[in-house]
Structure 1
């Protein structure tokens, strides 16, 4: 069921994008702010205490490696992980670089999902607005429907695949703490970037501030 929910998050984003107009896309900033705050809160409340059960400086190293990995991936994805998509309308070839960088990100974020944390919900909330924006720009840029669906289908498979490997392959468990620490770094970078970029001139209005506060409170209470 968890795998299906992760897949459907992208599918839901695509179907919402089919009915969106460009002016309505601006409202996504509020949902992005909520998703970024919720993902950040789950990371701080649940994942960080998990990896620091046995304090070690090496955990900090892996968190920094995760941040650096995400910065490297965004060099190619141009920030699509947090709602920024830059596709060249004159070039309708399949965007392999974007696909690979987003897939690596999505694959990694599936590893720490477990019954002991609420990361599944956080990733679903994170994926839906990103999938909406990604789908919308594919559609409006004039990419073929087959290209758009191929991209989204395999992108949607990456997080369930990461979660499946983490759950079913024992050799991964030997490095569970290190992998989780790297994913924490990825989440810290993505979520804080969403919060930083989701407001014009980097200033929060009341609606976005309310969304962030509600997200933090919900993440703490669940």
Structure 2
């Protein structure tokens, strides 16, 4: 499931993009808010206590490094990780830098999910709206369907690859707590941005508030 679900979530996002307009669909925006709330909650409830239990005094530094890394990556991705896409359409060229940026993000988020089913669910839920937004951009950019499939497949494989590397390369074990701390920084930035940017005028309505509370409760009790 660790290797299959992230890939399936990208495929689900592509299918959603064919039937919904992510930028204007209320259902899509609520899904995005739910994913942000769930991902943030799992990060706070599980990942944070785990990395701080290591006793390292440098955990906070790596959390902030992860946050800064995500900000840098978003200079290239233009915010697709949190449900926005600001690239110009109709370019007709394969977006290599975008793929590199999203692949690094996805690769890192795969490292900690070996040890947390809840985090796996959070990543999967998060990937669905991200893949939908990304699919819309790729289709509008006028690149061939084969290149769209290639892009989404590589992106979908990066998270399973991160999990596989973490599981099979023991040389990474001494650094896993620091990698996980960087992932926490990435998740904190992405999830909080989702919560505050996915609503018009940055305000909460009753539906969004309810779905955010639901995401928090599910992350806590499941």
Please tell me the TM-score bracket, short chain as reference. Answer: over 0.9
| Ranges of 4+ aligned residues in structure 1 off by more than 6 Å | none
Please state whether the residue corresponding to 2:92 is helix, strand or coil.
Answer: coil
Partner of 1:64: 64
Partner of 2:52: 52
Post-superposition shift, 1:106?
A: 0.4
Partner of 2:179: 179
Partner of 1:194: 194
Q: Hey, what's the Cα distance between the residues in 1 that align with 2:19 and 2:164? A: 32
1:49-128 mapped onto 2 (5 Å cutoff) = 49-128=49-128
Q: Do 2:22 and 2:133's aligned partners in 1 also have CA atoms closer than 8 Å? A: no
Q: Hey, what's the Cα distance between the residues in 1 that align with 2:23 and 2:112? A: 36
Answer with 164-173 or 133-142: which moved more: 133-142
Post-superposition shift, 1:143?
A: 2.9
Answer with 68-77 or 134-143: which moved more: 134-143
Q: Hey, what's the Cα distance between the residues in 1 that align with 2:4 and 2:117? A: 18
Q: Do 2:2 and 2:113's aligned partners in 1 also have CA atoms closer than 8 Å? A: no
Q: Hey, what's the Cα distance between the residues in 2 that align with 1:22 and 1:68? A: 27
CA deviations over 1:58-104 (Å, ceiling 9, x no partner): 10000000001000100111111111112322411001111110000
Change in 2 beyond 3 A, CA 1:107/1:116: closer
Please state whether the residue corresponding to 2:4 is helix, strand or coil.
Answer: helix
Post-superposition shift, 1:124?
A: 0.3
Post-superposition shift, 1:55?
A: 3.8
Gap runs ≥5 in structure 1: none
Q: Hey, what's the Cα distance between the residues in 2 that align with 1:156 and 1:23? A: 22
Q: Do 1:20 and 1:136's aligned partners in 2 also have CA atoms closer than 8 Å? A: no
Q: Hey, what's the Cα distance between the residues in 1 that align with 2:84 and 2:92? A: 18
1:163-178 mapped onto 2 (5 Å cutoff) = 163-178=163-178
Gap runs ≥5 in structure 2: none
Q: Hey, what's the Cα distance between the residues in 2 that align with 1:131 and 1:147? A: 15
Post-superposition shift, 1:15?
A: 1.6
Post-superposition shift, 1:57?
A: 3.1
Partner of 1:131: 131
What is the number of residues matched between the two proteins? 222
Superposition TM-score, scaled by structure 1 size: 0.95
Q: Hey, what's the Cα distance between the residues in 2 that align with 1:122 and 1:172? A: 23
CA deviations over 1:140-198 (Å, ceiling 9, x no partner): 34332112111101000100000000011101111111110010000000000111101
